[in-house]
Structure formats: structure tokens, C-alpha cells
Amino acid sequence: MAGSKFRPDRGLTARMVMTMFLLVLVYVAFIVGLVLAGLDIWLVIVLVAAFALFSYFSSDKIAMFSMGAKEVTPQQAPELHALVDRLCAMADMPKPRVGIADTDVPNAFATGHNEKSAVICVTTGLMRRLEGPELEAVLAHELSHVAHRDVTVMTIAGFLGIVAGFLTQAGLRFAMFAGPAGGRGNNNGPAPAVVALLVVLVSAGAWALSFLLTRALSRYRELSADRAAAYLTGRPSMLGSALSKITGDMARIPTRDLRQVEPFNAFFFAPAFAKKGFSMNQLIATHPPVEQRLAQLSDISRQLGRGA
């Protein structure tokens, strides 16, 4: 976070380092497991490397395309750009690209593998619901993800899950079409269907481990971004107000719209659930409870001597 005036968070830095270290171990075990399951080592290396490079360098484009978001210029969205300009000046950080997603789901997200490729995106639903100071607070939250570089870590961390998920589905389909016997392997080796099932088991295990690691990091980074935004703007009550409005209005959004954006929950300012009253176990939740976030903001408000 060199050059940024966002409040540093050593706890977040330590968690990112630990998450990346553990994910490296999972990556290595994943590759070894696939080789032991019967796949050619060079095929595995090429496959993993190809997915890694594609995911790393295209993360911002994939996220924007999937959300139906478009980058906007200062002429197209002057008020939004003015808020981002002001916050970047306050934080002393490079200005990321700015995007808008045309959906009524009130939310925002940051994506990109580094500061140069970073994009801060808000939805039209968010801009319609929030007042200027509230929107500024949400933008500060998203900018802190870029400044803390946890967006980059989440991009890398999410890659293993993509590869493992792809291999799991491919292995299951192959095993189903191969039939019960699955044929005979060459040179008395395992049958292709057996290899496919072993690949599924290895991939599913790697996916589960990467899933839990990224979820744990995701919950902490949201609290960290709330703190950083609150201290930068000096108005934690505005962030709390925005969070309350967004989570309160989420139940009024059509289920179809929520389901379309649910895959992005780990990157959103607030999670979007397709079920009313839906609650996730804290082990797999992408965000900490709203009550915990609001309590933290209230504590910061008292520290700053401002009313919540």
C-alpha cells in the first residue's frame, strides 16, 4: 500500500501472505495429485499455467463483461468521476478506471490484477438509492481494496477454484459417458473412467480448500475496507447508512436479478442473495454479518467524536 494514505492494516497483510502461502501448498498438492491420478505432468502444467495467465490478466474484463458493466468517461458520468477524483486525491493514489453496471441490484465492486488495470464499478441501482456522501463512502471502501492490494490476492486465489471446478465437471462428464467399466487402461494401467474419477476427487478437494481459504480472507478484507474508508472520509456514519440501505433494499430486488449477480458476492460491497432471509454459515460466508460491520463503524464513529 505504498504511497496510499489509506489506514494500513497489518492484520490484512498478514492474512494475505498466509493465504497465498497456503494456496501455494494447495496448488502443489493439486498438481501432484493430478499426476498421481494418471494425468500427464506436462498436460497438467500447461493447463494450470494457461488458466492462471488467462485469469490473472483478464480478471477485470471478465468481471465487467459478466456484470454487463461499461467503462465511463468523466463526460459520461461527471458526478461519479468527481467523487472518485476527490477520494484518490485524499488517499494519494492513482485513479482507477470507473465503470457502471446497468442493473437495479444496489452494489459496487473493484476488480483488476494491479493498480493500472483496476476498475471501480457501481450499479445504476446503487446510484439511484444513495445520497452523495453515502456513495462517496462506498467508493472509498472499494478504493481501499485496490490500495490494500487484496483485489489482486483475491484474483489469484480465485484461480485455483476455477481450474478445480472445471476439472471436476469435465471428469464427471467423462466418467458418466465412459460407462461403468470405463474401458481398460493401456499396459494394465487404470481404466480411463477410474482416472477421471480420481481427477474429480483431487479437484474437488483442491476446490474445497481454496474455497474456505478465500472465504476467510474475504470476510476479513471487508471489515478492513470498512475501517479504511471510515478513517479516510472521517464519516463512518455515511458508510453505515449506505450499508443499511443496500442490505434493506436487497429483499425488494427480483430473484432473477439477484441470481445473475450472486457469483460476484465475494467482490461486492454487500452480498446479494436470491432468497429472502437467507443466511450463510460463517465458515462459507463471503462477508461478515451486517451487525458486525455496523458495530465496527459505530465504534470508529465514537473514536472520531462523531455521532453515528
CB 87 within 8 A of CB 136: yes
Residue 254 backbone dihedrals phi, psi, to 5 degrees: -55, 140
What whole-number distance in Å separates Cα of residue 270 and Cα of residue 247?
Answer: 7
For residue range 77-101, list pLDDT tens digits in order: 999 999 999 999 999 999 999 999 9
Residue 170 pLDDT:
63
Q: Read off the pLDDT of residues 23-72 as tens digits, 9 standing for 90 and up.
A: 888 778 877 877 777 777 888 788 778 877 877 787 778 888 888 899 99
Residue 181, pLDDT score = 47
Strands laid side by side in the 108-111 sheet = 69-71, 97-101, 119-123, 108-111
DSSP of 239-298 = HHHHHHHHHHHGGGS-HHHHHHHGGGTTTBSS---SSTT----TTT-SS--HHHHHHHHH
* The pLDDT value given to residue 166: 64
- pLDDT value of residue 164: 64
The pLDDT, as a whole number, for residue 165 is 64
Name the stretches of the chain with pLDDT < 70: 1-4, 158-196, 199, 274-283, 306-308
pLDDT of 250 = 83
CB count in 10 Å sphere of residue 186: 8
Paired strand residues for 97? 119
Tell me which residues are annotated as active site. Answer: 142
Model pLDDT, residue 94 = 92
β-bridge pairing 119-123 and 108-111: antiparallel
Q: Give the residues across from 70 on adjacent strands.
A: 100
